[in-house]
Structure 1
Amino acid sequence: MAWSPGLPSLLLFGVGVLSGLLALAVRRNRSERYAGGFVALVAVIGTWAFSYGVQLGFDSRAAQLPWWQLTLAVAGFIPTAWLLFALRYAGKEEWLTRPARWTMVSEPILFAAFVLTNPQHGLIWSGLRLPADAFVRVFAPAFAIGYFLHITYAYAIVGFGCYLVGRTAARSSELYRRQVLSLFAAIAPPFLANAAFTLGASPVPGLDLTPFTFGLTVTLIGVALFRFDLLDRTPIAREAALDVVGNGLVVLDAEGIVVDADERARRVLSPAPSTGDHITSVFPDTSLPRLSGTTVEGETEGIRRTYEVQVSTLRDVEDNPTGYALVLRDVTDRSAYEQRLQVANRVLRHNLRNDMNVVHGLAERIESDEADDPAAVAARIQSKVDGVVETSEKVREMTRIEPSSADEAEPVDVGTVAEEVVTQFDTADATVERALPRSRAAITDEAALATALENLLENAVEHNDCDEPWVRLSVEERGGAVRLRVDDDGPGIPEEEREVLRREAETPLKHSQGLGLWLASWSARAAGGELTIESTGSDGTTVRIEFPAADRD
């Protein structure tokens, strides 16, 4: 009888056309290498639906048999195509060695060969029965051992592929989980329909409902593609990026779209990177290739820190780019050290040069007998030399300071440390008061704390133009913190120096005039505290160093 397609055939042709259009769209618009395996999967689905539709257009067993064989042979490639896609989606391409690929491809090829030659051996099916009163005239096969061996293998690798995809998504962000939920929803209907057909439990005797469910499958795959960017954003980039050591991490796909960002990166960067946004929303003035080496500042756990941005290209096992990792490396310590060297360089070039020029000029006056009071000039020279020695000692101490981790903090009685500093301080030309009760703070470097207090006391006295400078050093414990306060009655700290201290950087036009505040601030930080200028003005200044209180035993 002539071929006469009915409604079932037309439905299957529609599924085949829809599958073909989806495969074509993926091939044209997606450049990722794993799109190839995905296209193969969708193409096999479409071919299965189309060939089965042609088969249902015939009503005799002889006419249906060639198309049935083609349908069954093509269907055997779907589990392999799914596993190939799953391996690439999960970033496991290193498993696809040449022997593994040949093994995976050889099984469906071997099955197809047995299907096409079944009339000679009967290993795939042993008989075909064509029910006369069925809703759709299609023969019901009696499957043999060869088919059951193949279907067991097929279900096993489909399940393994689902496991790989599900495990990858479970360790990834919400976007990937939505992708995988869509994929699992697409797989479930044909899997259940095929299991029912294999067990002879199809609602329509002999009719395989599997290709009919492909309509829903293709629709859900389209949702995963165009709603959740299935092939544009995959966990491959994220998995590779987790191997990159850094303090903050932003993962991008090959187009520069943010795929993921860890909590620290979201805290440090402003605006915080959001999934789906282009990286230019975070760095509008710097292109991606030029981001490496730039620095950003951000606050983490209440502390201002400096991070260096490093851009790494993520590649698969065949060296094809799959995305980018933006690593934010904490370089606060390095930045602080460079800052100390910058200030030391300025002091050595500017302050020492000026002082030595003065010494040179005064020495020439004595040598040429132009000095009215050579002893007084010699005293000035001695004072300048002493200042040079003191400055060089401060520069040496400044470059020695190294910040310590809070994990290294130990309980220290700051009152005792402060008492020792005051005892050793020269109070001949100043009044130094103290209120130093015993208070235990978490200190990472006791020597650095002493250096900070020494420099605050020196600053308070040296820059005070009163006849008898007054300074008060006190300790108080409040709200889980220990505070050291230095009060004086001097003229206040110039705005220029306060600005430099706030900015924690010098510019060629704005130099902090002395090293005292710099050294005190850095020493306080190295000791695990934070220096703050509470108030300053013509009636005096208050500087505070605050430390966490030590745990009481």
Structure 2
Amino acid sequence: MDGNVATLVVVGSLVGGVCSLGLAAVAWRNRSVSGAVPFGWLIVAAGGWCLLNAAWLLTANQQVAATLFLLIRITSGAMVGLWVVFALTYTGRREWLTPVRVGVLLLLPSGYALLVLTNSLHGLVVADVTLVTRNGLSLFVGRTGTAYAIQTAVSFGLIGAGYALLGEFLLRSRNLYRKQTFAVLTGGVLTAGAHALFVLGATPHPGINPAPLTFALNGLLVGVALFRYDFLTVAPLAGDLLVDELPDPVLVLDTEGTVIDYNAAATAELGDDLNGAHLPDEDPRLLAQIERGESFAAPGTQRYYVPQTSEITDQHGTARGRLVVLRDVTGQRRRQDRLEALQAATREFIEADQRETVAELTVAFATSTLDQNAAGVFLCNERGHLEPAALSDAVEAQVDDDLLYVDPAETPDRHLWRTYESGERRVASFVDESVGPLETSLMLPLGDHGVVAVGSEGETYAPEDQQYAEILARTTQVALEQVERERELRESRASVERRNEQIEFFNGVLRHSLRNAMLVVGGRAEHLREHVPPDQRRHVDSIEQWCEKLTAMSETIRDINETVAASEGKRLETVDLSAAVRRVVETTGADYPDATITLDVGETRVLANGLAEAVLASVVENALEHNAGDPHVEITTRDAGDWVQVHVADDGRGISDELKATVFRRSLTPNQTAGGFGLYFVTVMMDLYGGNVWFEDNHPTGTVAVLEFQRAGDGDSAAESSAVDGSAADDSAAATEETATADVGVEAQGKSPDDW
């Protein structure tokens, strides 16, 4: 039985040696990985110890046994030192491994072997081996003394220190290598325990040390743990590493709300005493916010989080806790706050009516929302200089006044002027200028208005800050342009009002004077009638007719002025278009006895006013005047959806396309339009009515004038103009059929140039 034990130890030692040397080869191939080299040397020493122990059990020569005993002492001592070196490297304490300390660690555990080698010099120890037979088994046993006991105590102390380092590493709350560390500790304890049995004499024979036997299992266990779960792959560590390296705090809570695990980000944001903290007692607000799932500000910080909770269940589907990820939304919240502030500021910008007000709003936004206490708006004055329109308190207190006013003739190289002149954004350095602690300034052009500058005590600006500063600059520029337009508009309105008042005054004087003059002329003509021979009274008749026409024209001009000045609601009335056309035909036909005017109009109401008849009369008279011989004009109305079109077609020689496009312009000469004012009056009035007018070709010859009016709806409540139904002639015209056709040939005396 004891022989079987010795055989088992020999075989186990050989297997342990082979495994150890194999692991050493693997460590060498992975020597670039931290910890691989000290582990390799440790396992080489372990392999040597295993092989020496096998030889120790197999030898029958006392001299060989004595040599093996000494080599075993040296090898086992080196293992102790290498074990501590590996533990320091593995746990991340490389700074402790100075050359002196490494030398001490390697030599101290082997001190007994060194004393044996130098015993002839000092005679302090006596080391020899003797053959001991026990339980039928004869093996060599090394005889030791006090020095050996001291070495053993030192070795166990160093081994214990290595275990302590690994144990502390294992118990670290955020240790990513727990499983691996546990495997290393288990293997180490297995070997140390077996060696302790040998030291204490608890083995079947004092010459049998079972510790090397354990390296068959220990080497395999430790090597696989190290190389399978660290050096050769990171897959088992990826989950822990991912959670630990997340920038967002992660908490694991049990069903009672107690923190059972967390990552480093949670410690940084929520405190170091999270382990075992009961949130309902420690921070009830935090637990309530987690349960609501709403964003909240972390206590004592300026960061915002949105909690995302996932339930943790066991294999039976029973809830065991919650995984809480506090997603950092500080950036989004900050952008939202800035956008809301910019939106509110934009409303104030729109309401601003002075350049200085806009500048003050810009500085207020820059200092409150961009987190920069130094800001200023510099606007160009009448002399072409840049001067401050608004400054923050920091700029007024820290920046010299001579830097705030820029005269390009004296200081063309100033950063403010270069920004204004180039129209490009720039970050200016103030290292050599008197600006207090300010180091840089972000300067943005405001078009032709000036520059906005945002100062900083740092050397750079975050891209997000630059983006919002540009938005602020564009908003400021738009507001300044609006203020400028509003100023120009106010000035224009004031000028128009003054001119309208002047025109109204002179028109009133003109109408009053003209009307009085016509009354005087008419009265004198009537007085002369009795003194003029009958054959010459036609001249008196012409005078009286022109007095009436000029008096009517003054009233028409008054109506036109009132129409132009009136608002759209007061300008438009419901007008009976068909009645207005019939009255125009009767009036115009009396002046053109040789003309034939044909009507085809329906009962239609449009939006216009009392001047609609004058508009229609101008178009009809224009058609008759530009027609040689016996003119024929056809007037029809057509429906076009919400519009009503009046077509006035003649059979004259027609007009060119160029004249069609320009005939309604005021710039035409009287020769082109037989007076010109009539058609310009038509286009002005049709614009005021919200309608349109144009010319088309008539076939086979002639021209068609088209007037397009807005149809009056049932909801239009404007009273009809008295011009629609204000005469007996209207009643006669209204009595005709809706589609009546009339040949109007009113005889009248012809007119010669002498009649004017």
The TM-score range, normalised by the shorter chain, is: 0.3 to 0.5
Q: Which has the larger radius of gyration?
A: 2
User: TM-score scaled by structure 1?
Assistant: 0.47
User: TM-score scaled by structure 2?
Assistant: 0.35
